[in-house]
Amino acid sequence: MTRPGEASLRARLSQGPILVAPGAYDALSARLIEEAGFPAVYASGAGASYSLLGAPDLGLLSFGEMLDQVRRIAQAVSLPVIADGDTGYGNALNVQRTVREFESAGADAIQLEDQGFPKRCGHLLEKTLIPPEEMVAKIQAAREARRSSDFLLIARTDALLSEGLDAALDRLDRYAKAGADVLFLEAPPDRETFRRARAHLTGPLMANMVEGGRTPLLSASELKELGFQLVIFPGAAARTAAFAVREMLSTLRQDGSTRAAMDRMLLFDALNAVVGLPQALSAGRRFQGGPAPPG
């Protein structure tokens, strides 16, 4: 949801540097992304599955669970929120409800993909696809359902691995003509595929950087040179957090204390600053009629 006085996500994509949107797996990670100075946050469906269910990205997360996660992330930050809408959770009518609810929850964009059910992470094999005509209908339904034209529709195809590049680009062409605002080719294996996508397609393009996935890990500047306007790093925060927590727990198990891990933590006051404890305490005093804190 565009905040007063801010340029819309659509306007940001059409001007200036490539937009880098790290993935948030919960409201705290979204706050850290905002604190770091990024211009947008990606509400990751995989990240939500990891954090809420402790489960892989195999379509196990429900519409309601993801909607609640998008709402919590949007409420935690003032950044534009790009929401992972998976397949739209059903047919074109389901897509319409998903778009309305995500937009109401505070998202500025939704990503929809052309996988069948059960869907899975785009960097896994054995994905099923719906016919392109069905995806076109979903995009048209999404376009009709959104309340604001500033709410962006990102169309993703997973056809590259199973149908080849030409078929995947043909799908994206059709999705653009149906009204998608941003196009997303999942899992390009090399720079040449990025170049061919840019040469073939018109309009803003999105790239997805998955550490250890099928796509080479390119920098934002490299992707801008290749002609891309948006890049997400959906799982970097979740992977980093999981690594750090595992290391801390190993230390605690070995030492019986976390003292040796404190240099890799946000300590009590630092974490409370991130989540806004001083402001919350100040507001509480004001509403209770107590004295304002000094300074």
User: Is the Cβ–Cβ distance between 44 and 25 less than 8 Å?
Assistant: yes
What is residue 154's DSSP assignment? E
The reported pLDDT for the residue numbered 294 is: 61
Return the CATH class of domain 9-235.
alpha beta
d(CA 192, CA 184): 16
At 135, list the tokens: 């995806």
Q: What is the pTM of this model?
A: 0.93
pLDDT beneath 70: ranges in the chain: 1-6, 290-295
The reported pLDDT for the residue numbered 103 is: 98
Delimit the CATH 3.20.20.60 region(s) of the chain.
Answer: 9-235
What is residue 280's DSSP assignment? H
d(CA 17, CA 236): 21
- Bridge partners (DSSP) listed for residue 113: 156
Phi and psi at residue 224, to the nearest 5° = -65, -40
d(CA 75, CA 106): 7
Beta strands in the chain (DSSP E): 19-24, 41-43, 81-84, 109-113, 152-157, 182-185, 205-208, 230-233
Displacement of CA 185 from its chain's centroid (Å): 15
The reported pLDDT for the residue numbered 180 is: 98
